[in-house]
Amino acid sequence: MHYHIILTKECNLSCNYCGGGSDTPPKEIKYSIAELKSFLSRDSNPVVAFYGGEPLLRIETMKHIMDSIPARFVLQTNGLFLHRIEPQYLSKFHTILVSIDGTREVTDKERGNGVYEHAMHDVKLIRQRGFRGDLVARMTVTQGTDIYENVRHLLSTGYFDHVHWQLNFAMFWEGSENTEQELAEWISTYNSGISSLVDSWVDEMSRLNRVGGIVPFIGVMNSLLSGEKSRLRCGSGIDFFSVMPDGRISACPVSIDFDFSMIGSIYDSAARSLCNKATIGEPCVSCDIFHICGGRCLFVNRSQEMLRNNGFSHICSTVRHLVKKLQEALPQVQTLIENGSLGQSDLEYPEFNNGCEIIP
Ligand code: SF4
Ligand code: SF4
């Protein structure tokens, strides 16, 4: 199973989406590494993902955990301190996810001046230092973002193996500054961008016989090809848990201040006993594409009272469009597999739940 370890709630940035981490105490880890090790020892194949706040603000604790606990390691970071990781620790990471929203202009607008330049500098540096693992650009997409341009930009840098994104929750939130009409207009533009992106993704597959690293497309297309039904794809509350600084366990790393998400603690819970304690409810479980969407997001599903009027249906319209476009592209992809241009395994990603969110 996959465990997000929140190393600190402190962050060195104050991005528009979250304002610099969570303020609820405690902000720093209160359990011992031995207690964490004891909890994780009950899982024979744990994936440990360092998360925050900004986890690299507590790099010594991170290294201590990596030295003490056998696991596959993942890091989710804003990228500004990647230069602090020594090569012997870099090589231990299977996946590093870097929060970056696209072009310099888009990233700096939401995350602060100079963030793009700094993060990209460090991304290049870890490649030069020999990091050969999966490097993932992790976008937050806010109203106004051109999805086509920004996803293509990140892939064109040549540094990232994969890109995934999440729609900024604030757009759909009750307190949003934008009117519903403005939101609906942007969603229409976003959906057009998704159509163009799917077309260019399939075109590239046909021309180059390779699958571009657009995680939502790979994950959904793989399900359409295999026919396998999906549950909540981020895995929150299923095989994915977050260890908070005080040792409590949250089903999702984002909803750590919400009661529904608190499902146990490292002191008294066996990992297996946590599964399915916090689950997706209506309207998702009765939805006709639940088997593909999986319910998108536990946090949003369980906090619908925080959404604006029609907020949930606006979110769903983006999921429905993405699924429809990929269903339309399915015959072309099947042909490429049948004629040997691609292997079905080229679409089997991620190899394990590495923190990529497949439904944006
Ligand atoms: S499309 Fe909407 S209602 Fe359907 S499963 Fe996904 S989030 Fe739930
Ligand atoms: S998709 Fe939603 S439930 Fe899953 S990790 Fe992200 S915020 Fe949490």
Which range marks the domain in which residue 293 is found?
A: 175-232+280-353
Cβ burial of 149 (10 Å; 0-12, 13-18, 19+) is: middle
> Quick one: which of 76, 78, 161, 143 has its CA closest to 106?
143
Please indicate, yes or no, if residue 13 is contained in any of the structural domains.
no
Question: If you average pLDDT over residues 284-312, what whole number do you get?
Answer: 95
Q: Which residue, among 176, 123, 162, 166, has the nearest Cα to 141 in the 3D structure? A: 166
Could you report the per-residue pLDDT of 146-168, keeping only the tens digit for each? 999 999 999 999 999 999 999 99
Instruction: Specify if 140 maps to a domain.
Output: no
Higher pLDDT, 324 or 21: 324
Q: What band does 25 get if pLDDT is binned at 50, 70 and 90?
A: confident
Task: Classify 252 as helix, strand or coil.
Answer: coil
Give me the DSSP letters along 265-297: ETTT--GGGGTTSS---TTGGG-TTHHHHTTS-
Q: What is the pLDDT of residue 289?
A: 97
Question: Taking 90 as the threshold, does the pLDDT of residue 293 lie above it?
Answer: yes
Does residue 297 sit within a domain? yes
Q: What is the mean pLDDT of residues 116-141?
A: 97
Split at pLDDT 50, 70, 90, the class of 63 is very high
Ligand 1 atom nearest 296 alpha carbon = 7
Inform me whether the pLDDT recorded for 21 exceeds 70.
no
Asked if residue 296 belongs to a domain, the reply is yes
Atom of ligand 1 nearest to the CA of 300: 7
Give the whole-number percent of the chain exceeding pLDDT 70: 99
Q: Is residue 328 part of a domain?
A: yes
> What percent of the chain stands above pLDDT 90?
89
- The predicted structure's pLDDT at residue 19: 61
102-124: average pLDDT:
96
What pTM did the predictor assign?
0.96
CA nearest ligand 1 atom 2, residue: 316
- pLDDT (0 to 100) of residue 20: 54
Whether residue 169 lies inside any domain: the answer is no
Nearest CA to ligand 1 atom 3: 284
Q: 155-174 in b/e burial notation, b at 16+ Cβ within 10 A?
A: beeeebbbbbbbbbbbbbee
- Of 85-99, 127-141, 166-180, the one with minimum mean pLDDT is 166-180
pLDDT value for 257: 82
Find out whether the beta carbon of 296 lies less than 6 Å from any atom of ligand 1: yes
Task: Please give the DSSP secondary-structure letter assigned to residue 26.
Answer: P
Mean of all residue pLDDT scores within the chain: 95
Q: What is the pLDDT of residues 134-144, one digit of tens each?
A: 999 999 999 99
Sequence-ordered alpha helix ranges (H) in 227-349: 290-293, 298-302, 311-338
Cα 13 from Cα 53, distance rounded (Å):
9
57 domain-assigned = no
Whether the ω angle into residue 216 lies within 30 degrees of 0, i.e. cis, is no
Q: For the segment 259-283, what is each residue's pLDDT rounded down to a tens digit?
A: 999 999 999 988 889 999 999 999 9
The total domain count for the chain is: 1
Closest ligand 2 atom number to CA of residue 296: 1
Nearest CA to ligand 2 atom 6: 297
Please report the pLDDT score of residue 22 as a whole number: 67
Evaluate whether residue 153 is within a structural domain: no
Give pLDDT, residue 189: 98
Mean pLDDT of 58-79: 98
